[in-house]
Structure 1
Amino acid sequence: MALDPKSLKLFIRVIQAGTISAAAEQEHIAAAAISRRISDLEEQMGVALVERSNKGLKATPAGRALIDRAHRILNDLGALETHIQDYGSGEKGYVRIHANLSAINQFLPAELGAFLKSYPHIQIDLAERMSTEIAQAVAENTADIGVLVMDEPIKDLTYLPYRSDELAIITSRHHPLAKRRKVRFEETLDFPYVGLPHGSQMNLQLTRSALALNRTWRCRFQVSGYDALCLMVEADLGTGILPRRVAQTQAKALHIRILELDEPWAKRQLHLCVRSRASLSPAAQLLVAHMAHNYVSPATT
């Protein structure tokens, strides 16, 4: 029996959603029908693809391997469909983007919204990942486009300038630094920090910068995103560093102070990352062209 692309898509959706019922609601299909498709896949493969518990479902090692390969298959099918479709009613396709937290919070909502108004038949699968993981995902063809803060470029990948941002320090209103307008990073190292998850590009930057000063970056808590980071800072549990635009949005609702970070590395360049433009599906090429066209250089921001 040949693999059914619909079953592969539903299997991926179930793992992403965590439960069959959540996936069924998202896909507007009966939960029993999804459960049957997964059972059929497991019978066809001769191996368990999911682990079931009272917390939901997660992929087995075999299931994760299937997801990786299924993404590639679905992407190839989407590219094939795009190639043969009549473009009279609009382009169709499937594009996988892995983007870091900064890009998702600052730029991608408006960027993707504008793109999908022009190309409503293109499906975009957006996943949040750490910059340290994104380029590898593109290299391994588990993502078509990466949006990241580049550290060490991976050979044979193409990097295109995307957007620039600026990091800022945030403190509670009662913090000893709160009345300052501008601080050097070294001045903040006397105080504990609230950081992002282990392995994030931000944490790596702060650790390296502290080591360059023969100091230690003390991270008291690690949280998964900017919202939680700002709430912890508001509660005076530590200082934090995040993009100024995000901090300004958060400061409208929270009692936090924003301080200029007086360091050259506070001004960052975000990049698009692809294997090569020629390797992209037509739909992915359209999206890259749209995002690169909207690039704003630091000199104009």
Structure 2
Amino acid sequence: MSTLDPLSLRLFVSVAEAGTIAAAAEREHIAAAAVSKRISEIEAVLGVTLLRRTNKGVALTAAGERLVALAHRALHELDEVAVQMRDCAGGVSGLIRIAANVSSVVQFLPGEIQAFAAQHPRIQIQLEEKPSIGVVKAVADNAVDIGVFTSVPHGYDVQTFPYHQDRLILVMPAGHPLAQRKAVAFADTLAFEYVGLPSDTAISQQLTRAAHAHARPVNLRIQVTGYDAQCLMIAAGLGLGVMPCAVARQQAAKLGLSLVELTDAWAERDLLLAVRSLDALPVACRMLVAHLCGV
């Protein structure tokens, strides 16, 4: 192989995402030896080492990390060509890749994307749910075009725009000792057990920071992967939970949950939209950014 080709790049990205050559080969329905050969050929063409083999799989070198970002960009451009050439008879077409945190997916994006899709039927949209930090990293790596995330410290070089605000609220079973209060400070809840979300979510990280500020831990009784499971566990009496107010209200009536306001300033959160460079985005992506936040 004297030059790079799309298949080799796709296989390399698959190895980087899967963590092992065997897993990537299974996902791509190709022999592991063929995948390994492709990676070796890429390394020979570029003159760099992309992967380090370990007893747990493979790890990307610095050159490998950079190639992943470049490969995402190149493959996206090829996908964009295919989409636009498939139907260029009229109207704007294209492919938009979005990563968004669960709060925006549950509360805001479905209706807003539906309205955009109705106006632009030739534009395809891929939506992937990630934790907020993962959203910003995906944008910085050019793995997605647009990210929606809760404002958190991240250190990535991206452009951000205001999207929405949401408010966190305390959720508990109706008979809980705090259920009769109109509002409560988070510090006053730390004596009770919690039903928590994964540790990489913005909410879990905020609760941990707030608890550390009071030199106390969050007493996790059980940890679940999403709001639906969290509400069910709270309804079963396994602890308190913190979640966006709009989500909590959807579940409160049917599960008999009580909602109590948090008095802490951090309970009011900003949701942001991120892109690598607004000016460099394809037309379809810029149109969706304008639709979502008026940029």
TM-score of the aligned structures, taking structure 2 as reference length: 0.77
The amino acid of 1:39's aligned partner reads I
Equivalent residue for 2:30? 39
- Residue 222 (structure 1) aligns with: 223
Distance 2:38 2:256 in 1: 53
- For 1:146, the aligned partner's letter is G
* SS of alignment partner, residue 166 of structure 1: strand
Q: 1:247 to 1:36 in 2, by over 3 A?
A: closer
The equivalent residue for 1:97 is 98
* DSSP 3-state at the match of 2:191: coil
Distance 1:44 1:218 in 2: 46
Cα distance in 2 between the residues matched to 1:197 and 1:153? 18
Which residue does 2:47 correspond to in 1?
Answer: none
Q: CA RMSD in A?
A: 3.3
What whole-Å deviation, never above 9, does each CA across 1:167-207 have from its counterpart, x for those lacking one? 10000112111111211111111101111112211111001
Please tell me whether the aligned partners of residues 133 and 154 of structure 2 are also in contact (alpha carbons under 8 angstroms).
no
Cα deviation 1:136-190 (Å, max 9, x = unaligned) = 1111111111100121143531010001111100001121111112111111111
Q: Secondary structure at the match of 2:98?
A: strand
AA partner of residue 288 (structure 2):
L
Provide the residue aligned with 1:191 in structure 2.
Answer: 192
Distance 1:224 1:86 in 2: 39
What is the deviation of 1:82? 7.0
Q: Structure 1: 5+ residue runs without aligned partners?
A: 17-34, 49-59, 296-301
Report % sequence identity.
Answer: 39
The structure-2 alpha-carbon separation of the partners of 1:288 and 1:137, relative to structure 1 and needing over 3 Å to count, comes to same
Alpha-carbon offset, residue 72 of structure 1: 3.0
Is residue 2:172 matched to residue 1:181? no
Indicate the residue corresponding to 2:108 in structure 1. Answer: 107
Judge conservation of contact 1:97–1:124 (CA < 8 Å) in 2: yes
Q: Match of 2:255, SS?
A: coil
SS in 2 for 1:141: coil
| 1:201-246 Cα shifts (integer Å, max 9, x gaps) | 1111001111112222222211110000000100110100000000
Aligned residues: 262
Name the counterpart of 1:236: 237
Partner of 1:148: 149
Q: Which moved more, 1:190-199 or 1:207-216?
A: 207-216
**Contact persistence 1:79–1:283 (CA under 8 A):** no
Q: How does 1:1-301 map to 2 (within 5 A)?
A: 38-39=29-30, 43=34, 46=37, 71-80=72-81, 89-293=90-294
Superposed displacement of residue 252, structure 1: 2.6
Alpha-carbon separation, structure 2, partners of 1:290 and 1:121: 16
Output the CA distance in 2 between the equivalents of 1:91 and 1:116: 11
| Separation (CA, whole Å) in 2 of partners of 1:166 and 1:104 | 15
| 1:277 match: secondary structure | coil
In structure 2, C-alpha distance between the alignment counterparts of 1:70 and 1:140, rounded to whole Å: 10
For residue 278 of structure 2, what is the amino acid of its counterpart? Answer: R
Q: What is the rounded CA distance, in whole Å, between the counterparts of 2:75 and 2:226 in structure 1?
A: 30
Contact (CA 8 Å) 1:82, 1:91: kept in 2 or not?
no
SS at match of 2:73: helix
Return the letter of the residue paired with 1:236.
Answer: G
Residues 80-99 of structure 1: CA deviation (Å, up to 9, x unaligned) = 45777886522111111110
Say if 1:267 and 1:46 are closer, same or farther in 2 by CA, change over 3 A.
same
